[in-house]
Amino acid sequence: MRSSYPSRTLQTGFTLIELVMVIVILGILSAVAIPKFVDLRSDAQTAATQAVAGAISSGSAINIATRKVNGTKGVPVTDCSHGAQLLQGGLPANYSLGGSLPLPVPEGAVVNCTLNGPNGSVATATLIGIL
């Protein structure tokens, strides 16, 4: 025998309140996260400038060892601008190396040179004078 009541079917899905809550939570998360990622470009440029300065400093130490073993190899360093020659291929585009030093840099003297990178990023490269 059949019942005279209509049969009920279960409906599945999300209610409007649940969907609104998910949207609100996503909005809060994006409001917190986006400001942290907005200024990553300048941080990356500063890190790149520091990396180039570190490469110049390492190149200076290698250059000293090379010049002491064979005086015809390596690069004489008597000025901050000579630091650019310590990198294979020279300084990358938009970088400049300088400093206000008493010139020429004496042999064995350790000097700090300023490396200027893109968008005003600055780092210090350490050079060792050698003839």
Helix or strand holding residue 115 (H, E): strand 110-116
Report how far Cα 46 is from the mean position of its chain's Cα atoms.
Answer: 5
- Above 90 in pLDDT, residue 98? no
DSSP assignment letter at 26: H
Question: 118: exposed, middle or buried (C-beta count within 10 Å: 0-12, 13-18, 19+)?
Answer: middle
Confidence of residue 116 (pLDDT cuts 50, 70, 90): very high
> Domain locations in the chain?
43-128
Q: Specify the pLDDT at position 48.
A: 92
Indicate if the pLDDT at residue 128 is higher than 70.
Answer: yes
Mean pLDDT of the chain: 85
| pLDDT band at 25; cut points 50, 70, 90 | very high
In which region does residue 94 sit, left (phi positive, over 0), alpha (psi from -120 to 50) or beta (all else)? left
Predicted structure pTM score: 0.69
Please tell me which residue, 72 or 51, carries the higher pLDDT value: 51
